[in-house]
Amino acid sequence: MSKLWSESDKLDPAVEAYTVGNDYLTDMKLLPYDLKASAAHAGMLAKIGILSGGEYENIKRALDEIKKLHESGKFVIKPEQEDCHTAIEQYITEKYGESGKKIHTGRSRNDQVLTMLRLYMRDVLNDLGEKLETLSTAFTQAAKKAEGVPMPGYTHMQKAMPSSVSDWLGAYADACNDLTPLVKATYKLVDQSPLGSAAGFGVKGLELDREMTAREMGFARAQQNPIYAGISRGYFESAVLDLGGLIMTLSGRFASDMLLFTTQEFDYFSLPPKYTTGSSIMPNKRNYDIFEVMRGNAKVVEACNLQIKSVTAGLGSGFQRDLQLTKEPFLKGAEVTLTTLDILCQAVPKLQIHEGKLKTAMTADLYATEKAYELVKQGLPFREAYKQVKSELFEEER
């Protein structure tokens, strides 16, 4: 099968496998976004007279056929095709001849991949925003349900001061709410169409209507500087995963809390059995594996982002094939973040609060600081009050 860049050159199989990597598989997830971009591009080419009305109809028909084949699992990108861009163009050309040979006019695979990734990013950010709102509501409702239930506060993994279940859950609700402006800011950053930037230097000799294609795809604007469009490859992905990293850090901290507070020694909270797993050898075990995986996935998303930053940090402004290596970790990081939020949105409303255990845990030592403040109100300097309460506590322990 011929390449878009050559009809005769034959690559060494090892070279082809090494340079293509998993890109042809990754692009199966991104193909719908390239179809959307191709439809907008074809409409613009028809408007400026590059495509006839019949050619445009052929391309629209072909793109619709590919979409249906993809949805039914019958459209396959072959390794020798390298990516979805080649697979789509070759399908159109094989079935509709000249129409397929014209679809690449005024674009490069560089701006094609930029555009489909940008469309994917917008969907990811929309999903993140919706899921964060759902999760915030879940935490808020759980906190209201727990009003009046005390809970020890912890520092250094030791009992510290009196707190409450509603404050604990409310803290995570507030954190979700504070992430919302960051979702909107990141969306604004990526909401610009790179289509028409071609290989990173724009298209000379054709009057492409880039505002039209941006509008057709629902972008707020076209990315004007073609070199910056190229620089944004990997850069924008990292911005999205910076947000994903914050979400996963928050999720990891909640996971750590749950793993501690659901142990038999604490037994403050539990989830229904369908959210826990069993042991292959110990009949007595119910394990909160979802939170162990969640805690680990917080590091996985950070590693995906680090991989992107590491690949892009030393590159110049023009396209380098290294950038291909940012696609897989980006998709993985985004998908892990989204599925983590899905799990939390399901689990938090099912949280079972063991009020008796929590009340029993409210031992006298938790109120030591309050006792010191009572002495302060009576005129004793805080440091003296601190020493007096501490002495009394340890005297009681002896």
Q: Which residues are catalytic?
A: 156, 279
SS (H, E, C) 46-115: HHCCCCCHHHHHHHHHHHHHHHHHHHCCCCCCCHHHCCHHHHHHHHHHHHHCHHHHHCCCCCCHHHHHHH
Q: For residues 361 and 143, give the distance between their C-alpha atoms in angstroms, rounded to a whole number.
A: 19
Q: Which residue type does 290 have?
A: I
List, in sequence order, every residue forming a beta bridge with 165; answer none if it has no partner. none
162/177 Cα distance (integer angstroms): 25
- Say how far apart CA 106 and CA 203 lie, in whole Å: 6
Instruction: State the first-to-last Cα distance of the chain, in angstroms, to the nearest integer.
Output: 84
What Rg do the C-alpha atoms of the chain give, in angstroms? 28
H helix intervals, 79-209: 84-96, 98-102, 109-145, 165-190
3-state helix/strand/coil string of 347-391? HHHHCEECHHHHHHCCCHHHHHHHHHHHHHHCCCCHHHHHHHHHH
Question: Can you name the residues that pair with 162 across neighbouring β-strands?
Answer: 152
Structural tokens at position 256: 């750590």
Tell me which residue of 154, 164, 135, 146 sits closest to 339, measured CA to CA. 135
The count of other CB atoms within 10 Å of the CB of residue 73 is 8
158 three-class SS: strand
Q: Which H or E run includes 17? A: helix 13-20
Contacts of 65 (CB under 8 A, 6+ apart): 91, 95
SS3 160: strand
